[in-house]
Structure 1
Amino acid sequence: MLTVDLARVTFRRFAPSLTGPATAWTSNEHPIGFEATQLVPSWTARTPPGGWIEVELRARTASGSLTKWYVMGRWSEHGAPRTSVPGQGDGDGDVAVDTFVARRPVAAYQVRVTARGAGARVAALGVMASAVPQRPSVPSPSGTGDAVDLAVPRHSQHEHSGHHPEWDGGGANWCGPASVAMVLGFWGRGPGDGDLTWVGAGDPHPVVDHAARHTYDSSYQGTGNWPFNVAYAGRYGLAGFVTRLRSALELEAFVRAGIPVIASLSFKAYELPGAGYSTSGHIMVVAGFTAGGDVVVNDPAAPDDGRVRRVYPRAAFENVWLRGTGSGGIVYVLHPPEVSLPPSDGNW
């Protein structure tokens, strides 16, 4: 009998209250329930011009000692700052752009949010804690039910090649903004025409350029910061969070609830039939499932909008998405607050 070693994941929501021009809110210490190796916060917030928030984490190691506070991001919807903070590593762990990576397993954590500037408001804050096994994943059983295919708009990142080098230059680097723009469009949300006049005439989808500009991490020098993409969607009234899912069955539960999911994965071309490219890190939208259980995606790596919608074999997709040497099943979920999530046993 084959035993599958799944990721251990828990997700916790917090309700910070911030008032005044420079206010900090600190959670109680939250036990995880297992020895975790990674922590990822995510949030939605609104900040006035000149205002920003700082999100920090500290952890209690499995041996009982308390780490220092690590800065997980400084964020403003207007930029300046919108940045991760490198160079924080010590004997307990380090921050890899948007992820606290423990050098010693942790058993509990606290989160702290500091608001700078009157009027900053945090709508939602969550922390995902996980321990991801290094073994390759194996395919889950197919879900039950008919085929489902959500009508998510299709945006190719490559139709923006060379755009705005100050925000990482479009093309191969804009899978995150293209994916977030697709999901915002699905929900009928996003910037209005008046917010897009700076993009310029002839752009195929100005909303992608807008998303790139407003998710760009000035330290990382890229648009792939997971919490920053969630926070961007929050500007337009969507709830959102970063977590790990543990199977295509969990992905399917979201899609059958009418919620497209943005997934992070890496692979060689031969590992994902039909992709036609290799990537060390990529973002795409899971928009459906075939009757046979294969995964329907909007893959922004397609050369043009007409080829964005693709079907990837379920087993191949699941293996490259879930394995511990990749993202370990990372997703971000964006949805209107009134749209209910499927039932969960703790990872969302």
Structure 2
Amino acid sequence: MLGIALIALVVSCAGYLFLGELRAPAATQGEPVEFTVDSGETTADIATRLSAARLIRQPALFTLLTRLRGLDGQLQSGRYILSPTMTMSEILIALQTGKLKELQVTIPEGLRLEEIADLVAQTGVVSAEEFLRAARDGDRFRDQYFLLSSMPPGATLEGYLFPDTYQIAQDASPDAIISRMLDRFSEQYSSIERSVRVPGVSVHQVVTMASIVQREAALIDEMPTISAVFWNRMRPEYASDFAGGQLGADPTVQYALGYSAAEGRWWRKTLTLSDLQIDSPYNTRRYAGLPPGPIAAPGLDALLAAAQPDESVPYLFFVASCAKDGSHQFAQTIEEFRRYEAEYLNCQ
């Protein structure tokens, strides 16, 4: 009888402690935080991250509670607002019913900051002006993202807001939206970071080159070759063959010119001779080397091409082909280029 009584006492105490832990929040005060449940996560994974975020104290008890309520494997993916003052039961209820309503925005490759801001503003979450104000202040995000460390002081986040489809909470701030895009950039760039073949270049230089390749190339399989052409043009041994190290990339001129009210677009379809003479460090027809920074948001293919150009090609020139499928013909000498150019003009 004494043994039975002791067992009953232990069970009773354990039950009391269990119920007490379920009813007690992780903290008596604290700010609400955003918590994301990813698709395919197990209850144990979610519990571990809830504990790491200091939203619960005992992940094992949270997992047990979820199973006792028949909800194991049924917690919905999404973004939630949770507080450390919530009990385990309240958190479990929130993870079933309190998902933030989200709006979707798709950012295509090759857009400049103003175009990205306009797309984000279409969700109605933030205005284009609010988004641009934050995105143009790259320094405020520098300490949070190691890959931004090579940006010049005062630089914007042009080129670093990775093009993708994003789900945006209705109450998201400009900083929160930008941080998600920078998170995505960091994730994607990390896949190529250790395989950069161009010696002595920084992340900022790779992103800058990638943005030019993104705007120049219509076909993904030509990106490594176009990247090689631009890197070749800056090599000292080719300085006498192509304008002393100038890239000669029209998209950089388009970027420098900015918005065309006459055409109603940021990227001008036609460039005049006077356009090509604009005095801007982004005009790579006047100034040698890379421009001060990216001109648009490159995708992963363009980043990979900029980091790993086709080292086997000696080309310095390219011109659109008569196939009119976005492909180009590549040339090593100015004579070849002029021949291909004449062919293209004749087939128009």
**Structure of larger gyration radius:** 2
TM-score normalised by the chain length of structure 2? 0.25
Pick the structure with more strand per residue.
1
Pick the structure with more helix per residue.
2
**Which fold has the larger relative contact order, with Cα–Cα distance below 8 Å and residues 6 or more apart in sequence?**
1
